[in-house]
Amino acid sequence: MKKRKKEDLFENYSKRNVTVYLILRILVVITLIRQVFLGNWNNVFLCVLTLGLFLVPVLIDKKFNIQLPDALQIIILLFIYSAEILGEINEFYLVIKHWDTILHTLNGFLCAAIGFSLIDILNRKEFFHATMSALFVALVAFCFSMTIGVLWEFFEYGMDTVFLKDMQKDTVLTTISTVNLEPNGKNVPVTLKNITNTVIESIDENGNKIQTLIEGGYLDIGIHDTMKDLIVNFIGAITFSIIGLLYIKNKEEYKFAENFIPVMRKK
């Protein structure tokens, strides 16, 4: 009975997709066991969360009868694994310089594809029908992707503010411009260039002063990381929106776009 249920769960999936799913799931379980032995319970939670997120494409297929193309399914699974296991637990965000940038760019691309597909999915519903131009559909896809990107930055800011998680990574700058350093309190920016070090002074629980030296420049607390994430999300979103626009106008020539566009499964 259990074997049959498992087969039913993946009945609409290719052997390649099932293989990728199982391999990634095994790797996550191995990581989970290792984190339990190390006592890193935060990482254990991330592993459990990852295993849950792996089921999202399957649930979308079963619950809403939406078919995700094979390429899109694999990319989503690899994206989840790269963000949670490689990025967070294996610290790829720190080890590999542009790891976060790559993921945010990919996120913009994928969300635009999902936003693009929503028009077709909604049009198949009896309660909703609209005729839209190719340009408007591409615009909807772009706006959907950017909205998701902004909401994610809200989430990161909330986690940093409430739980002090530092999801919006700091950036060391050598040049800043601020009105806070204007001696007369006027709205005139003062620019500091070639900053070499920053000294941060704090007070511990016992009232003792602690000085921390930031070498290399001024410590920005997240705005540059946030704007960079939104910019690369924009690049990913606009890239797929253009592809989607061309696909609507010439489906044969740009047929490869179908590898990223979810569709309603025919009953």
For every residue of 132-181, DSSP letters joined together read: --HHHHHHHHHHHHHHHHHHHHHHHHHHHHHH----S--EEES-EEEGGG
In whole angstroms, how large is the CA radius of gyration of the chain?
A: 23
Strands (E), the chain: 66-67, 171-173, 176-178, 190-192, 197-203, 209-215, 218-220, 263-264
Q: What is the pLDDT of residue 89?
A: 96
Chain segment 127-161, per-residue pLDDT in tens: 555 667 889 999 999 999 999 999 999 999 999 99
Q: What is the pLDDT of residue 61?
A: 85
Low-confidence ranges of the chain (pLDDT < 50): 1-4, 6-7
Q: What is the pLDDT of residue 60?
A: 87
Q: What is the pLDDT of residue 35?
A: 97
Chain segment 165-180, per-residue pLDDT in tens: 889 999 999 999 999 9
Q: What is the pLDDT of residue 267?
A: 60
pTM value?
0.89
Chain segment 8-24, per-residue pLDDT in tens: 666 667 889 999 999 99
What does each C-alpha distance from 221 to 152, 192, 218, 232 come to in angstroms? 17, 17, 10, 19
